[in-house]
Structure 1
Amino acid sequence: MRSLSLYDNKALPPLSLMQKMLLCCGILSSVVYIAANVICVLLYKNYSPVSQTVSELSAIGAPTRKLWVSLMVPYSLLMVVFGWGVRQSARGYRRLEIVGIILIANAVIGFFWPPMHQREVLAAGGATLSDTLHIVFTIAAVFLIILAIAFGGASLSGWFRIYSAGTLVTLVVAGLLSSIGGSKIAANLPTPWIGIWERINIGVFMLWIIILAVALLRRKPTMPPGEIGNMLSDCE
C-alpha cells in the first residue's frame, strides 16, 4: 500500500506513539463488531443471517440482546477513540478533521440506539416509539457514514479517493436492496437476502475504517526537521 499524501500538498508531521495507538483502535473496533455479529448469530437459535437483519440480534425479547448490547459498548468506545485519533493525526487538515468528528458523533449515537421489537410483535401491532426511533437512528447513522466516507475520500490520496467512491456506490446499491424488504419485517413476511445486503453494507464500512486506519498509520512524514521543531515549540 502506498504511503498517504494529502491533496493540499502541505507538509505532514510525523505521528506520535499515542496517535498510532488511537488509530489502531479503528482496526480493533471492526474486529469487535464482526466478532459480535458472528457470536450472536451462532447463539441465536433459528436466526438466519441471510434473511434477518443485524438489528434483530438486539431486538426486544431476542435471546442475544444483552450480549449484543454489552459487545457494542467496547465497539462504540473504540470508535470514539479512533475518531479522536483521526482528528488528532490530521491536525491542520480540515476535511480529515471533519471525518474524525463525524466518526465520533456516529459512535456516540450507538450508546443511545433504541431497539426494535421482534417481527412477531410488530406484526401483531406491538410497535412502540422505540421502533420509530430505531428507524430514525438508522437513517442518521447511514447519513453520517456516507458523510465520513465522502470527506475521507476527498481528503486523502488518489487511490483512497477511488476506493472511497467504490465504497459509497456499494453502500447505495446494497442499501437500496435491503430497503426493499424493510417494510416486510413489520408484517412478518419473508425477507430473503435482506441479511446479506445489510451485512455487505456493514462489511464495506468496517473495511473502509480498517483501510483508513492503515493508510494513516503508513503515511510518511514530509515535514522538514526544522519545521517539526518549530511546530513542537508552538505546541508548548
Structure 2
Amino acid sequence: MKRMLILAGLIGATLFLIGIFVVGAMAENYDPLSQFVSELGAVGAPNAWLLNGLVLAPAGSLIALGGLGRLGQGEWLSGPLVSLSGTGFLIAGIYRCDAGCGFVDMSPAAMIHNQAAFGAFLLAILAALILTVVSLARRNGSRAAINAIAVTGMVAGLGAMMTIGLDHPLIGLSQRVFLVSFCLWLMVDSAVLLRTPRKARA
C-alpha cells in the first residue's frame, strides 16, 4: 500500500509536468515565458477546465497521496509537507484566479488560489531541504544530491519570481523553473524510494 501511494505521487508529478506544457501549447496567443501557468485556468480562459480539472486537481491529489506514502516510509516530517504541498495545488485547481491573474482587486477565489499555490511552493522547498539534510546525515549521497539539486532549482525559480516583479517578461519562465524542478524532484526521488524502500525518518 505504501508503495502504491508513492507511485501515485510519481504519477501526479509526471501529470503535472506534462500537463502544464501540453495545455500551454494548446492555448492561442499564450506566452509561457511571460505568463503564469494559472492564466491557462483563469476565469474566462478557453481551456480552463483542462488545466484545473485534468491537471492541477488530479495531480495535486496524487501528490498528496504520495506524501502519505512517504509518511508510511518513516519520513515523518517531509512526508506530511509533500502531502500538504499537493493539497495546495489541488486547492489552486479548484479556486481559479481572475482573468489575467492580476494581483489588484482580487476576488476571494483568486486570493485562495494564490495563497494555496504560494503555500505549496514553500512547503515543497521545505520538504526537499529536510530530505537533503537527513540524507547527508545518513551518508546517502545520491539522495542528498537529488534533493539538493531540487532545492536549488525551486529556490532559484521562486526567488526570481519574487525579485524580477510580476510584470517582468520572464515571470512565466521563472515560475516554470520552480515547477519543473518540483516535478522532476518528486519523480526522481519517488523512483528512488520505489527501488530502494528504506526508512529515511525525515
The alignment's TM-score, normalised by the length of structure 2, stands at 0.83
Identity %: 23
On the 8 A contact 2:35/2:172 being kept in 1, the answer is yes
- Within a 5 Å distance, the mapping from 1:147-226 to structure 2 comes to 147-156=126-135, 157-184=140-167, 191-219=168-196
Structure 1 residue 145 and structure 2 residue 124: aligned? Answer: yes
Structure 1, unaligned runs of 5 or more:
1-17, 91-95, 185-190, 223-236
What does the per-residue CA deviation read over 1:95-121, in whole Å, with 9 as the maximum and x for residues that have no partner? x222111111222233322322223x8
1:136 corresponding residue in structure 2: 115
On the 8 A contact 2:39/2:99 being kept in 1, the answer is yes
Q: Quick one: distance in 2 between partners of 1:81 and 1:128?
A: 30
Structure 1 position 179, deviation (Å)? 2.5
Measured at CA, do residues 178 and 21 of structure 1 come closer, stay the same or move farther in structure 2, by a change above 3 Å?
same
Measured at CA, do residues 147 and 122 of structure 1 come closer, stay the same or move farther in structure 2, by a change above 3 Å?
closer
Q: Quick one: distance in 1 between partners of 2:192 and 2:97?
A: 36
1:116 corresponding residue in structure 2: 97
1:102 corresponding residue in structure 2: 81
Q: Quick one: distance in 2 between partners of 1:89 and 1:106?
A: 18
SS at match of 1:97: coil
Match of 2:3 among 20, 23, 38: 20
Structure with bigger gyration radius: 1
Aligned length: 192
Give RMSD over aligned pairs: 2.4
2:65 corresponding residue in structure 1: 81
Structure 1 position 202, deviation (Å)? 0.5
Measured at CA, do residues 220 and 38 of structure 1 come closer, stay the same or move farther in structure 2, by a change above 3 Å?
closer
